[in-house]
Amino acid sequence: MLNVSLAKKNTVVFHPGIGKTGTSAVQKVGFSLPYNDPNKVCFLPFGEVSGAHNKLAMNHPQFDEINFKSNIDRVVEFVSERNASTIISTEFMIRLTKPQIIETTKVLLEKNIEIKALFSIRNYNTYLASAYMQAIKAKFGKNDNEGLLAYCSRELESIRYPLLLDRWAQVLGDDNIFLIDYDLYRADFVRNFFAVFNIEIDERLVLDNNNINPSIPLCFDELMIAFDKVSNNSEDRKGLIELLINAEVNKAVNEGRINEIEKITLNKFEHDKDRLTSRYSWVGDAP
CA–CA separation, 15 vs 13, rounded Å? 6
> Where do the DSSP E strands lie in 171-233?
177-181
Q: Average pLDDT for residues 180-184, to the nearest whole number?
A: 95
Q: How confident is the model at residue 220 (pLDDT cuts 50, 70, 90)?
A: very high
Among 53, 94, 92, smallest CA distance to 75 is for 53
Q: Average pLDDT for residues 206-234, to the nearest whole number?
A: 86
Paired with 116 in beta bridges are 13
Q: How confident is the model at residue 159 (pLDDT cuts 50, 70, 90)?
A: very high
CA–CA separation, 55 vs 61, rounded Å? 10
Cα 108 to Cα 10, 64, 85, 101, distances in angstroms: 10, 18, 13, 12
Q: How confident is the model at residue 285 (pLDDT cuts 50, 70, 90)?
A: low
Residues 6+ away with beta carbon under 8 Å from 228: 136, 139, 237
- Asked if the model's pLDDT at residue 79 lies above 50, the reply is yes
The predicted-structure confidence for 114-157, as pLDDT tens digits, reads as follows 999 999 999 999 999 999 999 999 999 999 889 999 999 999 99
Mean pLDDT of the chain: 93
Say if CB 11 and CB 79 are below 8 A apart. yes
Residues 6+ away with beta carbon under 8 Å from 38: 81, 82, 83, 84
The predicted-structure confidence for 227-268, as pLDDT tens digits, reads as follows 999 999 999 999 999 999 999 999 899 899 999 999 999 999
- Asked if the model's pLDDT at residue 77 lies above 90, the reply is yes
Radius of gyration of the chain (CA): 19
Q: How confident is the model at residue 4 (pLDDT cuts 50, 70, 90)?
A: low
Q: How confident is the model at residue 200 (pLDDT cuts 50, 70, 90)?
A: confident
The predicted-structure confidence for 30-53, as pLDDT tens digits, reads as follows 999 999 999 999 999 999 999 999
The pTM of the full predicted model, rounded to 2 decimals, is: 0.92
Residue 114, classed as helix, strand or coil, is strand
Which DSSP category does 6 fall into? G
Cα 190 to Cα 6, 15, 97, 201, 229, distances in angstroms: 17, 13, 28, 8, 36
Q: Average pLDDT for residues 92-118, to the nearest whole number?
A: 97
Say if CB 168 and CB 272 are below 8 A apart. no
Residue 11, classed as helix, strand or coil, is strand
- Asked if the model's pLDDT at residue 1 lies above 50, the reply is no
User: May I ask the CATH architecture of the domain 4-282?
Assistant: 3-Layer(aba) Sandwich (3.40)
Determine the pLDDT at residue 208: 60
- Asked if the model's pLDDT at residue 204 lies above 90, the reply is no
